[in-house]
Chain A
Amino acid sequence: MNGFDDTLYMLVAIAGLTVVTFATRSSFFVLPPSLELPPMVERALRYAPVCALTAIVAPAVLTRDHAPFISWHNHQMWAVLAAGLVFARWRNMTAMIVVGMALFTVLRLWT
């Protein structure tokens, strides 16, 4: 099934996602001032996005057709590895995207 072609599904999804943006960004702006963020909860809130982003990126790069795809022939894997190193070293997002896409294109065309 392709969700993109189901207009009602998409509009309901977008409406919910808009609510999620407001609910998270404005949370403590509109919650009662007496409510504090306990350190334990803050730590959990810190790790959840880290893990959620990983759970999106890792399968996108390291799987193919719903199966793990860790191989010399996985061009995306090498591109992401190189781009990750560039970003970790120079903290420059534009350079990182250029390096990652360039390496991916080189591997795709020449191997």
Chain B
Amino acid sequence: MRRARHRWIAPFTKESYREGIAAMMPLALAISVWGVVTGVAIVNAGMTVPIALVFTLMVFAGSAQLATLPLLAVGAPLWVVWITAALVNLRFVIFSAASRNYFIGLPWRQRLLAGYLNGDLGFALFQRRFADDTERGTAEQHGYFYGGAMVNWVAWQIASIAGILLGGLAPTQWGLELAASLALLAVLIPMANKFPAVAGIVVTAVLSVLTVGMPMKLGLLVSVLVGGAVAMAADAWSTS
């Protein structure tokens, strides 16, 4: 048991920290592939290397980084950039609501950092491991969380920085920006598991292609609003 009081890290047990590392390790390859693709896509789109490094070290959200890349490239209004990232990241709000009981007893700094580190893979592993535990917020649970989060963060940062440093070497004809679309597709497909989601995807896809000429990339927000409304309507209809 870690006894030293730390402002940002909650007390945790070493055993479960190691267990968290071991659980996340098999996923490190997939995280690294994602990271390299993201880093390469960022510099191939034209972002300078120093800015790209700040971008990936600070934002630490691959799908939001890839999603805002085409917007930043054309200098879209900042509010469009931020709303787009927020929309892509809204899934994390569900994650935080689902795992809050494991962290709610901690000081706010520790909660803030734990939330920042709570990505897609760590959340999935953690839920699978502790969903049946009746006691929530133990040092064992926090150790497992930090172990997985540490592997995720290190693998992601090393890979995305490698992608940023090497990405400039690839000729643009290779079409590496396509890899960014493929990486986003890997997040999108598992979420397309029910009729309302599929209906939303189809409507949004058609609208976003038709409105691509709209100024300031506003076609994106318009198609998300309409597509989202269609998904909600389909949900209400299919559950009624």
Using a CB–CB distance below 8 Å, which chain A residues touch chain B? Answer: 1-7, 9-18, 20-30, 33, 36-37, 42-63, 66-68, 70, 75-76, 79-80, 83-84, 87-88, 91, 93-94, 96-97, 100-101, 104-105, 108
Return the contact of B184 from the options A7, A33, A53 (Cβ within 8 A). A53
By a CB distance below 8 angstroms, the chain B residues around A17 are 55, 58-59, 61, 64-65, 68, 81-82, 85
Given contacts A16-B82, A28-B93, A29-B96, contact A3 B72 (CB under 8 A): yes
The answer, among B75, B178, B206, for a CB contact under 8 Å with A101, is B178
Which residues of A lie under 8 Å from residue B204 when comparing CB positions?
A: 51, 54-55, 58
Please measure, in the bound complex, the distance between the C-alpha atom of A14 and the C-alpha atom of B200, giving whole angstroms.
29
Our pick among A42, A66, A76, A104 for the contact of B94 (Cβ within 8 Å) is: A42
- Say whether A57 contacts B61, CB under 8 Å: no
A108 to chain B, nearest CB (A): 7
Q: Interface size of B by Cβ–Cβ distance < 8 Å?
A: 100
Of B124-132, B160-168, B169-177, which binds chain A? B169-177
Closest to A45 in B: B90
Residue in A closest to B174 when the chains form the complex, CB atoms: A105
Complex Cα gap A51–B33 (Å)? 24
Contacts of A60 in B (CB 8 A): 70, 177, 180-181
Are B227 and A54 in contact (CB-based, < 8 A)? yes
Q: Offer 6 A-B interface pairs, CB within 8 angstroms, sorted by A.
A: A4-B72, A25-B95, A47-B235, A52-B84, A56-B181, A93-B34
Q: Are A30 and B95 in contact (CB under 8 A)?
A: no
Most buried by A among B34, B82, B204: B204
Instruction: Count how many pairs of residues, one from A and one from B, have CB atoms less than 8 Å apart in the complex.
Output: 292
B228 touches A51 (CB 8 A): yes
Inside 8 A of B1's CB, which chain A residues have their CB?
none
B141 CB contacts on chain A under 8 angstroms: none
Q: Does chain A have a CB within 8 A of B22? A: no
Segment of B13-21, B151-159, B189-197 engaged in the interface with chain A: B189-197
* Cβ B73 vs Cβ A47 within 8 A: no
Q: B114 contacts the other chain (Cβ, under 8 Å)?
A: yes
Query: Considering the chains assembled together, what is the distance between the CA atoms of A94 and B64 in angstroms?
Result: 20
A25, B189: Cα distance in complex, Å = 21
Tell me which of B48, B175, B223 contacts A55 (CB under 8 A).
Answer: B223
CB pair B115–A26 under 8 Å, yes or no, is yes
Contact of B209 among A18, A33, A58, A87 (CB under 8 A): A58
B46 to chain A: which residues have CB within 8 Å?
2, 4
Nearest CB on B from A55, distance (A): 4
